[in-house]
Structure 1
Amino acid sequence: MDVTLVPFDEPTLDALVAAALADADPDEVTPPLGAGWTAERLAWLRDHHLAPRPHRETWAVVAGGAVVGAVRLTPVADPAESPTRPDEMRNSQENGPAERSTRPDEMRNSRVEVGMWLVRSARGRGVGAAALRLALDLAAGRTVVAHTTVANAAAVAALRRLGFVTSSGAEPGAVRAERAVPRA
């Protein structure tokens, strides 16, 4: 299956929101902002992927021509500053005014955190691993960190297959993964 990462614009964001509404649990995609897909959750989802943040970049994951999720790279200054709990990872966002970086190589930090979510129907088909490979290409020359849970065995396996070293996170059941990505 052909998997690509596409920068967000309004039509791509509309497709992501539609995919999330049709095939994702809101608790897997947004902070806990009420039960179900509330207006507040939808506003957060749109803002999270389109509003400028300091050097953070997000892309739509497109598989088979359809938007099936999103991936992001966010600079982190120090491993201790990265979230250790999956809910912190999923819900973290940078605050304050900033210029939107137009190229991933403009991200100044030597460490970036990768985060991703996929609709249910895209899971277990290699889409996540392919999207992660593409994100690693964009993070060349940096150390990439990721956080998940022991319960997300597919994510842990994909991270390990792609050369990440995994360790226990600070919280019970949390998994932290790290990999240095050489410059191409």
Structure 2
Amino acid sequence: MGWTSADEGGRLRHVAGAVRLEPVDERNLEPLLSVAAAEAEPGEVMPPVEAPAGWSLARREAFREFHRASFAGLDGPTGSQMYAILVGGEVLGMIRMTRCDEPGTVETGMWLGLSARGQGVGAAALRELLNLAARAGMRVVVAETTVDNVGAVAVLEKCGAKLHEDGGKVHAEICLDSTPPAL
């Protein structure tokens, strides 16, 4: 069963079934940057950099270079594979997996543009990433967030993560060998 949301005309549209992950590359990097600049703060979508505040030219170039560094995927120098999150062919955000020191374990992180939040896109994207991680031979996916990131915590719970809270931080672990939760 897919997640649904209302579009501008009040019609319901299926979201989860339409969510697709596409490796970030030169073809979708500029649409990804456009969504980030229009619908997110730099600190939500990339590591901090020395640059003027907001989406300055220097920060936009740093965004591009941050993503280009992972073009080689899990076996590349960063050990990360980044995916553009698409719904109906439109880029709405990014989800990634990064190898951890423990074999068979990857860490994930995600961001969505403001207009895509709260529509089931995050949970659908995470489920797709879990499938990709399993196909890549991973056994565990972990994530870190904060207790005040209610949206991220809800997505992790929907996808069957075991959550551990410690001092305002939330550590999530999803075992890919277990049965996924029913929708």
Query: Which TM-score applies when normalising by structure 2?
Result: 0.76
Q: Find the counterpart in structure 1 of residue 159 from structure 2.
A: 162
Q: How many residues are matched?
A: 152
- Residue 64 of structure 1 and its aligned partner are, at CA, apart by 2.6
Q: Find the counterpart in structure 2 of residue 119 from structure 1.
A: 113
Alignment of 1:55 with 2:97, yes or no, is: no
> Of Structure 1 and Structure 2, which has the larger fraction of its residues in strand?
2
Structure 2: give runs of 5+ residues left out of the alignment: 1-14, 71-76
- Residue 132 of structure 1 and its aligned partner are, at CA, apart by 0.3
Q: Find the counterpart in structure 2 of residue 146 from structure 1.
A: 143
- Give the CA RMSD over aligned residues: 1.8
- Residue 40 of structure 1 and its aligned partner are, at CA, apart by 2.9
Question: Contact (CA 8 Å) 1:31, 1:41: kept in 2 or not?
Answer: no
Match of 1:21 among 37, 62, 73: 37
Tell me the amino acid that sits aligned with residue 66 of structure 2.
H
Larger radius of gyration: 2
- The 5 Å alignment of 1:73-92 reads 73-78=97-102
- Residue 39 of structure 1 and its aligned partner are, at CA, apart by 2.6
Tell me the amino acid that sits aligned with residue 29 of structure 2.
L
- Residue 23 of structure 1 and its aligned partner are, at CA, apart by 1.2
Match of 1:176 among 161, 171, 181: 171
- Residue 153 of structure 1 and its aligned partner are, at CA, apart by 1.1
User: Residue 139 of structure 1 aligns to a residue in which SS?
Assistant: helix
Q: Find the counterpart in structure 2 of residue 37 from structure 1.
A: 55
Question: Contact (CA 8 Å) 2:46, 2:66: kept in 1 or not?
Answer: no
Higher relative contact order (CA 8 A, sep 6+): 1
**Distance verdict in 2 for CA 1:167–1:183, change over 3 Å:** closer
Question: Contact (CA 8 Å) 1:112, 1:143: kept in 2 or not?
Answer: yes
Q: Distance in 2 between matches of 1:63 and 1:173?
A: 32
Task: Give me the identity figure in percent.
Answer: 45
Structure 1: give runs of 5+ residues left out of the alignment: 79-108
Tell me the amino acid that sits aligned with residue 68 of structure 1.
L
Tell me the amino acid that sits aligned with residue 117 of structure 1.
W
